[in-house]
């Protein structure tokens, strides 16, 4: 039996989904968090409950729950709304649970009346009843149920209240195989819409008691006048993000990571394993593979786990508070300048965790050009996998400084604006978008929810470390230990890795990066960005000093300026292959994908080149290596971009597609 969860954005569908299935899907107190359908069997506990309470025992037909993106109506406005409609109409679930935020009853019922006309058994779940009661409101559930000709259950999804009752209602309703419609308005004509509005208004008047007028100025409104203020909004946002990063990276998270990196994976584990393997007479090469390759490489990445966990705990609290919708308001002005709207901040915030869901979240943007632009720009936001790179280089080259992380995000922001502007000029994009976003009321963020989201993030991080990163490390270790004739090499510089890195190394000369090692690390980052750190760990495994310490062996490759430049290079060139796959899916054509990758590569390359050359000149009063080609490249790039921007309007269509 298929149970589909359908309702307005931010009504709590994913929260209910998690409660029914025991999953830990991402939830947030803002519209548009879920952008694709998710399917999972009912949790064992609830399935047991059903078996006990239902007269009809039906063990051959397990219940699956489907979480769908939110929609305000059956006619889709943006891409993710279409997903919900298509699923309902094509897959015909056995029963729909229509989730309604009890605090916006009248609006939600509009969609409900449309759903009830589909002749699919439907039950209604009034969610967030605690909030309604807290505000002194009441709903006559029995009356509503009679008028809608459908069963209605009251729930508080995030506390698990009313779930069993709702589930029983859903299963009983599914047996009916049909659904009467309370009003038959026909199609979506204006008259039909008006009839719907009149009907929902009557329902709200008849069955909803409110204690306060909804247009009264609330606490949330007062807070918004400060945090979304024209002048204070952006500084407050910057301060909030700085505080979160300072706490996660330099504070508690950094301390724990430091311990794991320096002591646990730096000494205790390798020493113990080394001793053990030597003790039982394992071949030194195999010991090398296990200790230097697997433990060294994976350990270098896993060491950053506490930092990432604490960061995502804080971000989850922030998201749950309802603040993110305000960020969209603040950013709207700036994004308008580059042909985007405030909605584009949503993929970018999601992208701080991982670019893949970030890129998928561009579905919520309705305009085609805007959506493609957001898809290209979203990977510039440093994702979770890039944090170890930043943390490593910050620890080695800029110990005790708190400016590295904030500056990275500022540079990322500036880059998004600059690249956006250039693209807008080249393709002559017109901002046609109309921005509208729902503003949820603030609420006290849930520690329980944040902990669950943090554990989920930790789990996926560890799974990556144990799979893709471990495999890649083994490959890297092999490549740097053996030569092309599969002979063990005395000197790393005659290894396979050195020659592969060496082929591309000349390309990085204008950036001031010397040697095959930096190239190899960058290349391995396309598999997963954490590999940049892991690859250095493997290459430097024979070094006496620990890699993470200030002034460690990485100083052989970089000055502080080129280290910072290398950091920017790895953050802003195209993302890992998995994220490129997501870009491919969202852009929908190979030609656009090639364009997007080229734009990202040029952006990352140019930022790194300018950082190295200008930084070296200003801070060290000398020319960096590759100065002449860098000047040549810069002039060519500026000329080329200038040509693209001023060429005659007739030569090109407006827009990408």
Report the interface residues with other proteins, using CB under 8 A.
Answer: 72-73, 75, 77, 103-107, 110-111, 188, 193-194, 197, 204, 210, 214-215, 217, 220-221, 224-225, 228-230, 233, 325, 328-330, 332-333, 336, 341-342, 434-441
Q: Is the dihedral of CA 440, 443, 449, 451 positive or negative?
A: positive
Q: How far is the CB of 191 from other proteins (least distance, A)?
A: 12
Output the CA–CA distances (angstroms, integers) from residue 117 to 32, 181, 399, 489, 524, in the order listed: 25, 5, 64, 73, 54
489: DSSP letter: P
Q: How far is the CB of 350 from other proteins (least distance, A)?
A: 19
Phi, psi torsion values for 504, nearest 5 degrees: -90, -15
**Residue with Cβ nearer other proteins (39 or 436):** 436
Q: How far is the CB of 230 from other proteins (least distance, A)?
A: 5
- Coil vs helix vs strand at 490: coil
Cβ–Cβ under 8 Å, residues 440 and 10: yes
Q: Tokens 């038959």: give the residue.
A: 184
Q: How far is the CB of 656 from other proteins (least distance, A)?
A: 21
**Residue with Cβ nearer other proteins (357 or 440):** 440
**Residue with Cβ nearer other proteins (154 or 530):** 154
Output the CA–CA distances (angstroms, integers) from residue 558 to 393, 399, 405, 564, in the order listed: 10, 15, 19, 9
Q: How far is the CB of 112 from other proteins (least distance, A)?
A: 12
Give me the half-sphere count of Cα atoms (radius 13 Å) on the Cβ side of residue 335.
27
Chain centre distance of CA 268: 34
Q: How far is the CB of 315 from other proteins (least distance, A)?
A: 22
Calpha distance 379→354 (Å, rounded): 9
Q: How far is the CB of 439 from other proteins (least distance, A)?
A: 4
**Residue with Cβ nearer other proteins (82 or 633):** 82
Q: Is the dihedral of CA 219, 224, 227, 230 positive or negative?
A: negative
Q: How far is the CB of 328 from other proteins (least distance, A)?
A: 7
Structure-token pair, residue 230: 């024209």
**Residue with Cβ nearer other proteins (164 or 210):** 210
**Residue with Cβ nearer other proteins (152 or 393):** 152
**Residue with Cβ nearer other proteins (159 or 336):** 336
Q: Give the largest Cα separation in the chain, rounded.
A: 85
Output the CA–CA distances (angstroms, integers) from residue 623 to 46, 342, 513, in the order listed: 69, 42, 14
Output the CA–CA distances (angstroms, integers) from residue 506 to 492, 511, 567, in the order listed: 19, 10, 18
Calpha distance 258→256 (Å, rounded): 5
**Residue with Cβ nearer other proteins (164 or 333):** 333
**Residue with Cβ nearer other proteins (216 or 544):** 216
Calpha distance 595→606 (Å, rounded): 16
**Residue with Cβ nearer other proteins (342 or 384):** 342
Q: How far is the CB of 358 from other proteins (least distance, A)?
A: 22
Q: How far is the CB of 449 from other proteins (least distance, A)?
A: 22
Phi, psi torsion values for 71, nearest 5 degrees: -150, 150
**Residue with Cβ nearer other proteins (10 or 150):** 10
Let me know if 1 is exposed, middle or buried by CB neighbors in 10 A (0-12, 13-18, 19+).
middle
Beta-sheet pairing, 138-139 with 208-209 = antiparallel
Q: How far is the CB of 325 from other proteins (least distance, A)?
A: 8
The residues near 349 (Cβ < 8 Å, ≥ 6 apart) are: 319, 324, 327, 358, 381
**Residue with Cβ nearer other proteins (75 or 556):** 75
**Residue with Cβ nearer other proteins (431 or 474):** 431
Cβ–Cβ under 8 Å, residues 531 and 576: no
Q: How far is the CB of 234 from other proteins (least distance, A)?
A: 9
- With CA atoms as reference, report the closest residue to 15 among 443, 579, 360: 443
Calpha distance 427→577 (Å, rounded): 26
Q: How far is the CB of 366 from other proteins (least distance, A)?
A: 8
657: DSSP letter: -
Calpha distance 264→132 (Å, rounded): 50
**Residue with Cβ nearer other proteins (440 or 552):** 440
Cβ–Cβ under 8 Å, residues 137 and 102: yes
Chain centre distance of CA 369: 21
Q: How far is the CB of 107 from other proteins (least distance, A)?
A: 5
Q: How far is the CB of 75 from other proteins (least distance, A)?
A: 6
- Return the ∠ at Cα 516 (arms to 514 and 518), rounded to 5°: 65
Cβ–Cβ under 8 Å, residues 106 and 8: no
- With CA atoms as reference, report the closest residue to 500 among 523, 477, 478, 529: 523
- Coil vs helix vs strand at 8: coil
**Residue with Cβ nearer other proteins (123 or 228):** 228
DSSP E strands in 152-215: the ranges are 152-154, 208-209
**Residue with Cβ nearer other proteins (108 or 257):** 108
Calpha distance 24→404 (Å, rounded): 32
Q: How far is the CB of 198 from other proteins (least distance, A)?
A: 10
């Amino acid at each position: 039996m298929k149970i589909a969860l359908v309702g307005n954005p931010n009504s709590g569908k994913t929260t209910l989904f998690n409660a029914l299935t025991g999953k830990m899907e991402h939830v947030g107190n803002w519209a548009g968090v879920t952008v694709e359908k998710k399917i999972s069997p009912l949790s064992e506990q609830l399935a047991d409950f059903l078996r006990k309470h239902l007269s009809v025992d039906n063990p051959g037909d397990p219940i699956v729950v489907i979480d769908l993106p939110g929609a305000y109506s059956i006619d889709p406005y943006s891409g993710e709304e279409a997903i919900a409609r298509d699923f309902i109409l094509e897959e015909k679930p056995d029963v729909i649970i229509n989730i309604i935020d009890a605090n916006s009853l009248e609006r939600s019922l509009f969609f409900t009346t449309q759903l009830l006309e589909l002749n699919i058994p439907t039950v209604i779940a009034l969610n967030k009843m605690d909030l309604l009661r807290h505000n002194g409101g009441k709903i006559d559930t029995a009356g509503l149920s009679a008028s809608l000709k459908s069963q209605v259950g009251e729930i508080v999804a995030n506390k698990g209240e009313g779930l069993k009752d709702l589930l029983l209602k859903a299963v009983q309703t599914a047996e009916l195989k049909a659904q009467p419609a309370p009003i038959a308005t026909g199609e979506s004509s204006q008259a039909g819409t008006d009839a719907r509005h009149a009907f929902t208004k009557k329902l709200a008047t008849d069955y909803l008691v409110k204690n306060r007028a909804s247009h009264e100025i609330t606490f949330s409104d007062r807070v918004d006048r400060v945090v979304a203020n024209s002048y204070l909004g952006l500084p407050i946002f910057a301060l909030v993000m700085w505080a979160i990063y300072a706490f996660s990276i330099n504070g508690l998270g950094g301390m724990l990571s430091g311990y794991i990196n320096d002591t646990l994976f730096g000494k205790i584990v390798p020493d113990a394993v080394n001793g053990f393997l030597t003790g039982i007479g394992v071949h030194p090469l195999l010991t090398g593979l296990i200790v230097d390759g697997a433990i060294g490489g994976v350990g270098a990445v896993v060491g950053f786990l506490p930092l990432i966990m604490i960061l995502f705990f804080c971000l989850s609290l922030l998201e749950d508070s309802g603040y993110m919708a305000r960020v969209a308001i603040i950013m709207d002005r700036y994004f308008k300048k580059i042909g985007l709207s405030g909605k584009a901040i949503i993929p970018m915030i999601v992208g701080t965790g991982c670019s893949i869901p970030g890129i998928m979240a561009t579905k919520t943007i309705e305009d085609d050009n805007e959506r493609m632009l957001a898809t290209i720009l979203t990977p510039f936001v440093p994702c979770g996998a890039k944090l170890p790179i930043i943390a490593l280089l910050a620890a080695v080259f800029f110990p005790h400084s708190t400016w590295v992380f904030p500056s990275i995000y500022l540079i990322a922001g500036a880059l998004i604006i600059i690249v956006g502007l250039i693209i807008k000029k080249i393709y002559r994009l017109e901002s046609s978008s109309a921005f509208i976003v729902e503003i949820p009321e603030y609420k006290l963020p849930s520690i329980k929810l944040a902990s669950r989201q943090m554990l989920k993030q930790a789990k996926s991080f560890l799974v990556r470390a144990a799979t893709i990163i471990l495999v890649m490390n083994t490959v890297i270790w092999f490549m740097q230990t053996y030569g092309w004739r599969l002979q063990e090499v005395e000197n790393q510089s005659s290894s396979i890795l050195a020659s592969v890195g060496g082929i591309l190394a000349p390309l990085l000369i204008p950036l001031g990066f010397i040697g095959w090692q930096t190239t190899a690390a960058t290349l391995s980052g396309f598999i997963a960005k954490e590999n940049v750190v892991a690859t250095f760990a493997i290459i430097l495994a024979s070094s006496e000093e620990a890699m993470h310490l200030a002034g460690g062996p990485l100083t052989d490759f970089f000055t502080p300026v080129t280290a910072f430049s290398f950091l920017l290079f790895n953050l802003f060139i195209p993302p890992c292959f998995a994220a490129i796959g997501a870009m491919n899916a969202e852009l929908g054509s190979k030609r656009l994908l090639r364009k997007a990758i080229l734009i990202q590569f040029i952006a990352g390359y140019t930022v790194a080149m300018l950082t190295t050359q200008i930084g070296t000149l200003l801070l060290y009063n000398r020319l960096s290596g590759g100065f002449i080609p860098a000047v040549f490249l810069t002039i060519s790039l500026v000329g080329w971009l200038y040509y693209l921007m001023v060429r005659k309007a007739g030569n090109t269509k407006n827009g990408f597609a």
